[in-house]
Amino acid sequence: MVIFEPPPEISLRDPPAVAPELVAPEPEHCPGPESQNAGKSDACAGCPNQAICAAAPKGPDPDLPLITARLSSIRHKLLVLSGKGGVGKSTFSTMLAHAFAATSPDTQVGIMDIDICGPSIPKMLGAENESIHVSASGWSPVYVADNLCLMSIQFMLPSADDAIIWRGAKKNGMIKRFLKDVEWGDLDWLVVDTPPGTSDEHLSVNTYMRESGVSGAVVVTTPQEVALLDVRKEIDFCRKAGIRVLGLVENMSGFVCPNCKGESQIFRATTGGGEALAKEVGVEFLGKVPLDPRIGMACDYGESFFDAYPDSPACAALMEVVGKVRRLVGDDEDNV
């Protein structure tokens, strides 16, 4: 009889430990190569990695202080999260970065794209064909303006369409390098764009960044229940991991026909949309951003939507959300 067991809780607050180099994939009930029981649990019997895991040094990852030192020159670190794909995480990250960078030429902004299998930020910032410079002190991020830089795996691919067929452990290694080896310099804002879900990337970025302090997470959703279902899980993840949720943004909320100006609900909020979810789970609702086809166009061409259509209703809605995010992380003084 095969018993359908509910997913076990995993500890999200332990300090990250070092994972040894393995010679074979982890077995099914692997305690984790970096865990205290590595090499000693029942599942380890017969695993080709057993000796390696058992001999590996236990304890916190020695790279952690290096990461914390690297990130100490960044004032505000924001995560943009959603359990659901295609709701506009990357678009919103890009908009946030553009809005922060527009405050003043002295405001330094960085975006870190940790969507390893589907990086979109370089395209949205019109930096697709750039590459990264490597020096003795680390990897230089790609600058698209004097005060706006980004880092993404897309810059390391031989061809733009190459697939990154990596299991979790390898993705974690790359995220660690993004935090440890990238010369972010003095930043006022670092926006971290994430893939959908609650898995390796999210766990890693949380464990590596916790020490240096994450200002909070902005969760993005669309209005329909099928999306809210996954976003609920993301907020549950944040709770478990101890990440502060700054608030929830509802994207693609209503559509105004450019021909007749009639409004339609493309992704209808049958259960009250983002606003009801925010109330239900007790997080702040940051606002609704209408669906505007020109946002997608601006992203495809790597232009700033704010610069192209400053008078659009979507732009006004976004600016309001950005203002709220600023207030929530206590960045009012920048507006003076």
Give the span between the Cα atoms of 162 and 158, in whole angstroms: 7
> Which tokens in the block code for residue 149?
């830089």
φ, ψ for residue 235 (rounded to 5)? -65, -40
Contact 301, 194 (CB under 8 A): no
Residue 98 binding another protein, by CB under 8 A:
no
CB nearer another protein, residue 264 or residue 335: 264
Contact between 319 and another protein by CB under 8 A: the answer reads: no
29 binding another protein? (CB under 8 A): yes
Based on the shown chain and the rule CB under 8 A, indicate whether residue 249 belongs to the binding site for another protein.
Answer: no
Is position 76 an interface residue for another protein (rule: CB under 8 A)? no
Residues 6 or more apart whose Cβ sits within 8 Å of residue 17: 34, 35, 58, 59, 60, 61
* Pairwise CA distance, residues 19 & 226, whole Å: 36
Residue 197 annotated in ligand binding: no
Candidates 15, 57, 65, 85; binder of another protein (CB under 8 A) is 85
Rounded CA gap, 300 and 3, in Å? 47
Q: Near another protein by CB under 8 A, which window of 54-62, 138-146, 219-227, 325-333?
A: 219-227
Q: Which residues within the stretch 198-217 sit at the binding site for another protein (CB under 8 A)?
A: 198-200, 202-203
Task: Point out which span in 53-61, 174-182, 261-269, 313-321 binds another protein (CB under 8 A).
Answer: 261-269
Q: At residue 38, what are phi and psi to the nearest 5 degrees?
A: -55, 130
- Is 86 labelled a binding residue? yes
What is the side-by-side order of every strand in the sheet holding 148-151? 142-145, 148-151, 109-113, 187-193, 74-81, 216-221, 245-250, 285-288
Which burial class, exposed, middle or buried, applies to 232 when counting CB atoms under 10 A from its CB (0-12, 13-18, 19+)? Answer: middle
Residue written as token pair 């018993």: 3
Q: Does 257 contact another protein by CB under 8 A?
A: yes
The one among 57, 59, 173, 296 contacting another protein by CB under 8 A: 296
Give how many residues touch another protein by CB under 8 A. Answer: 82
Segment interacting with another protein, rule: CB under 8 A, options 46-54, 209-217, 220-228, 328-336: 220-228
Give yes or no for residue 291 binding another protein (CB under 8 A). Answer: yes
Of 58, 75, 177, 233, the one binding another protein (CB under 8 A) is: 233
As measured in angstroms, the least distance from the Cβ of 182 to another protein is 22
Binding flag, residue 276, another protein (CB under 8 A): no
CA–CA gap between residue 13 and residue 23 (Å, rounded): 28
Residue in the block written with tokens 């003084």: 333
- The shares of helix, strand and coil residues in the chain, as percent rounded to the nearest 5, are 35, 15, 45
CA distances from 208 to 16, 36, 69, 221 (A): 7, 18, 12, 25
Instruction: Determine if 118 is a binding residue for another protein (CB under 8 A).
Output: yes
Kindly state whether residue 97 participates in binding another protein, applying the rule CB under 8 A.
no
Residue found under tokens 């606003």 = 275
Residue among 50, 108, 120, 194 that touches another protein (CB under 8 A): 120
Does residue number 135 form part of the binding site for another protein (CB under 8 A)? no
Helix (H) or strand (E) holding 101: helix 89-103
83 is in an annotated binding site: yes
CB-wise, 211 or 230, nearer to another protein? Answer: 230
Binding flag, residue 336, another protein (CB under 8 A): no
Task: Report the candidate in 190, 175, 189 with the shortest Cα–Cα distance to residue 119.
Answer: 175
Using the contact rule CB under 8 A, the part of the chain among 66-74, 118-126, 184-192, 326-334 near another protein is: 118-126
- Interaction between residue 127 and another protein (CB under 8 A): no
Instruction: Restricting to residues 156-195, name those near another protein by CB under 8 A.
Output: 160-169, 171, 195
Annotated binding site for [4Fe-4S] cluster: 30, 44, 47, 53, 257, 260
Annotated binding site for ATP: 83-90
